Structure 1
Amino acid sequence: MRNKFVTTSIFSLLFCISIFAQDKEKNDTEKLPEALEIEEVTEIREPINPLSPAKAAFYSAVLPGLGQAYNKKYWKIPIVYVAIGTGVYFYLNNNKEYNRYRDAYKSRLAGFTNDEFYLDGQGNQLSTPRVSDDGLLRAQKLFRRNKELSLLVTIGIYALNIIDANVDAHLLQYNVDENLSLAPHYKLNQIDATGNLGLTLNFKF
Structure 2
Amino acid sequence: MQINKLLILTFLFAIFLVNQASAQVKDTVLKSVDTLKSVKKPVVEPKVMTRQDSMKAKYVNPGKVAGRKAVFRSMIFPGLGQIYNLHLLNDGYGERAGKSQTGQRIYTIGKIGAIYGGLTVLTIAYIDNRQLYKRFLAEAQYREANPGKENDLTQYSDAGVISGKSTYKRNSQIVIFSYGLVYIANIVDAYVAARLHFFNIDDKLGFKVSPSVINSSNMYGFTANPAVKLSFTF
Q: Which runs of 5+ in 2 are unaligned?
A: 1-60, 87-107, 207-234
Task: Give the corresponding residue for 2:62.
Answer: 48
* Cα gap change, 1:130 to 1:176, in 2 (>3 Å): closer
Task: Give the corresponding residue for 1:101.
Answer: 136
3-state SS in 1 of match to 2:62 = coil
Is 1:172 aligned to residue 208 of structure 2? no
- Look up the equivalent residue of 1:66 and give its one-letter code: L
Alignment of 1:152-171 (within 5 A): 152-171=177-196
- Look up the equivalent residue of 1:104 and give its one-letter code: E
- The separation in 2 between residues aligned to 1:71 and 1:104, in whole angstroms, is 50
- Look up the equivalent residue of 2:165 and give its one-letter code: Q
2:161 pairs, out of 131, 136, 139, with 136
Number of residue pairs the alignment of both structures matches: 124
* Cα gap change, 1:131 to 1:175, in 2 (>3 Å): same
| CA distances 1:152-174 after superposition (whole Å, capped 9, x unpaired) | 22321221111100110110121
CA contact (8 A) 1:101 1:136 kept: yes
CA contact (8 A) 1:60 1:162 kept: yes
Task: Give the corresponding residue for 1:110.
Answer: 145
- Look up the equivalent residue of 2:200 and give its one-letter code: N
CA contact (8 A) 2:72 2:81 kept: yes
Deviation at 1:94, TM superposition (A): 1.2
3-state SS in 1 of match to 2:156 = coil
- Look up the equivalent residue of 2:128 and give its one-letter code: N
3-state SS in 1 of match to 2:68 = helix
- Look up the equivalent residue of 1:80 and give its one-letter code: I
TM-score scaled to structure 1, two decimals? 0.53
3-state SS in 2 of match to 1:75 = helix
- The separation in 1 between residues aligned to 2:73 and 2:62, in whole angstroms, is 19
Task: Give the corresponding residue for 1:5.
Answer: none
CA contact (8 A) 1:105 1:136 kept: yes
TM-score scaled to structure 2, two decimals? 0.47
3-state SS in 1 of match to 2:64 = coil
Deviation at 1:68, TM superposition (A): 0.3
CA contact (8 A) 1:84 1:158 kept: no
CA contact (8 A) 2:132 2:168 kept: yes
- Look up the equivalent residue of 1:144 and give its one-letter code: K
Identity among equivalent positions (%) equals 28
Deviation at 1:175, TM superposition (A): 2.6
- The separation in 1 between residues aligned to 2:203 and 2:133, in whole angstroms, is 58
- The separation in 2 between residues aligned to 1:111 and 1:153, in whole angstroms, is 37
* Cα gap change, 1:115 to 1:49, in 2 (>3 Å): same
Deviation at 1:150, TM superposition (A): 2.1
CA contact (8 A) 1:88 1:151 kept: no
CA contact (8 A) 2:139 2:151 kept: yes
- The separation in 2 between residues aligned to 1:151 and 1:58, in whole angstroms, is 22
| CA distances 1:47-75 after superposition (whole Å, capped 9, x unpaired) | 72532212111211211111100000333
- The separation in 1 between residues aligned to 2:141 and 2:72, in whole angstroms, is 44
* Superposed CA RMSD: 2.6
